[in-house]
């Protein structure tokens, strides 16, 4: 189709001018895989091209769910680093993420680790220290590990403080009712005094950072979730604005650059870059300050930031909640958001995983098992849990809320990016 070819060519010109290093990365990926470059390019612009080709149709891909939880220490303010045995328990700072995608991606997903500096700790060097062996099998497994994805009525975020849970189920066709959020920052009102520390050993001679990301075959890291050696990490939720800006920057290129952010402020500057085609929802964390943010970005780069304060949690599916923007409502997102409002606020990691594993809605469950009456096209590939107090990221397959069916696949150290455990 001539219009389609023109759109792809125009997008290629735009990204070559503004993201030349990532275009080079994709060309190398295409050469290595033996597939046409434009096929790889289009895979990295899937959301933008679908929005252009199907402006009035619902899209069901990239339909992930996230829970952000921030609780103070049980008997006072958090203490860092974590106290020794018998001392005050630590605070709770968690992000849980269901990675949902169509069935055809099963067996085509990986974890990729980029090491910017040979002096930075690696899984292979850690394994050698533990065993005295020069084997690089842990490094190989780490680099490629298959794991078996209307307009809102209010500018208020749906961050929930602890107390009586809200039992509100929206009527068909209506937007989910908002809850108040005292920590909500309106557009243009963002300010931050935080600083991010980064060891010089995590930087290469060119100033790069090491990072680890979840990757779909043929795509840039990461269109799912990832973190870097500066302590900045994120998970992603797709959003579906009614009118994309084309040509515009692809979210895959933005999230790839986000892996190089050295601070929350730098991450926010990358996330809100002007000229984006569709935008995204970013669940952003700073390992050092324990800050949790949800950032919604729309076409052009308009953005809204919500900070999850201590004593609250936040659920996000695939719809704009605090950025006022016309959007196409996905039925699954609507149902998942409504179900989250019915559930008791989680108090720890087990209850957070229980929320992500909820299947009470027979049509559109939060945990997408592929057997529902209306939502069989997309399944939950895996669940990731970022624990900022423990300094780990754990990844399961199976229902995360069912200890008998979930399986711990991988565990990573957020400070060193080392692979700690594999099953």
pLDDT value, residue 170: 31
Q: How far is CA 114 from CA 57, 138, 211, 257, in A?
A: 37, 14, 5, 13
Tell me what pLDDT residue 118 has.
60
Question: Mean of the pLDDT values across residues 126-152?
Answer: 35
How does pLDDT run across 350-363, given as a tens digit for each residue? 999 999 999 999 99
Q: Which residue has the tokens 């605090």?
A: 322
The pLDDT of residue 74 is: 81
- What are 2-16's pLDDT values in tens digits? 577 898 999 999 999
Identify the CA nearest to 246 among candidates 2, 10, 3.
10
Average pLDDT score over residue span 370-396: 93
Mean pLDDT for the stretch of residues 140-149 = 32
Q: What pairs with residue 70 in β-bridges?
A: 93, 312
pTM of the model: 0.79
Instruction: Report the range of poorest mean pLDDT among 111-120, 221-230, 314-323.
Output: 111-120
The answer, yes or no, to whether residue 242 has pLDDT greater than 60, is yes
Q: Sign of torsion, CA 80 81 82 88?
A: negative
pLDDT at 54: 65
Residue 388 has pLDDT above 70, yes or no: yes
How many other C-beta atoms can be found within 10 angstroms of the C-beta atom of residue 16?
Answer: 12
């Amino acid at each position: 189709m001539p219009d389609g070819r023109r759109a792809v060519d125009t997008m290629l010109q735009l990204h070559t001018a503004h993201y030349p290093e990532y275009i080079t990365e994709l060309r190398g990926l295409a050469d290595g895989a033996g597939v046409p470059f434009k096929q790889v390019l289009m895979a990295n612009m899937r959301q933008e091209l679908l929005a252009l080709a199907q402006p009035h149709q619902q899209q069901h891909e990239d339909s992930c769910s996230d829970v952000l939880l921030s609780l103070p220490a049980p008997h006072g303010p958090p203490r860092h680093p974590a106290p020794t045995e018998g001392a005050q328990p630590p605070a709770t700072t968690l992000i849980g993420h269901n990675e949902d995608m169509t069935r055809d991606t099963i067996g085509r997903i990986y974890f990729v680790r980029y090491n910017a500096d040979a002096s930075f700790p690696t899984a292979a060097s850690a394994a050698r220290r533990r065993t005295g062996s020069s084997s690089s099998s842990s490094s190989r497994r780490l680099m490629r590990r298959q794991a078996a994805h209307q307009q809102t009525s209010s500018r208020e975020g749906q961050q929930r403080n602890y107390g009586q849970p809200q039992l509100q189920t929206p009527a068909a066709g209506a937007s989910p009712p908002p809850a108040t959020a005292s920590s909500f920052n309106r557009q243009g009102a963002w300010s931050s005094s935080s600083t991010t520390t980064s060891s010089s050993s995590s930087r290469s001679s060119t100033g790069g950072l090491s990072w680890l990301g979840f990757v779909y075959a043929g795509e840039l890291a990461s269109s799912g979730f990832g973190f870097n050696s500066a302590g900045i990490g994120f998970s992603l939720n797709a959003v579906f604005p009614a009118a994309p800006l084309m040509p515009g920057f692809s979210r895959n290129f933005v999230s790839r650059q986000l892996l190089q952010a050295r601070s929350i402020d730098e991450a926010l500057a990358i996330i809100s870059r002007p000229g984006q085609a569709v935008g995204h929802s970013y669940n952003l964390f700073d390992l050092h300050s324990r800050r949790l943010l949800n950032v919604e970005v729309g076409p052009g780069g308009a953005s809204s930031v919500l900070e999850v304060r201590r004593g609250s949690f936040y659920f996000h599916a695939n719809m704009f909640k605090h950025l006022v923007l016309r959007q196409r409502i996905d039925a699954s997102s609507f149902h998942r958001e409504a179900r989250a409002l019915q559930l008791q606020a989680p108090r720890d990691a087990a209850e957070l995983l229980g929320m992500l594993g909820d299947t009470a809605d027979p049509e559109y469950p939060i945990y997408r098992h592929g057997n529902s009456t209306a939502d069989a096209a997309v399944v939950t590939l895996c669940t990731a849990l970022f624990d900022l107090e423990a300094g780990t990221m754990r990844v399961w397959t199976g229902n995360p809320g069912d200890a008998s069916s979930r399986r711990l696949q991988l565990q990573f150290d957020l400070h060193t990016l080392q692979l700690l455990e594999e099953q």
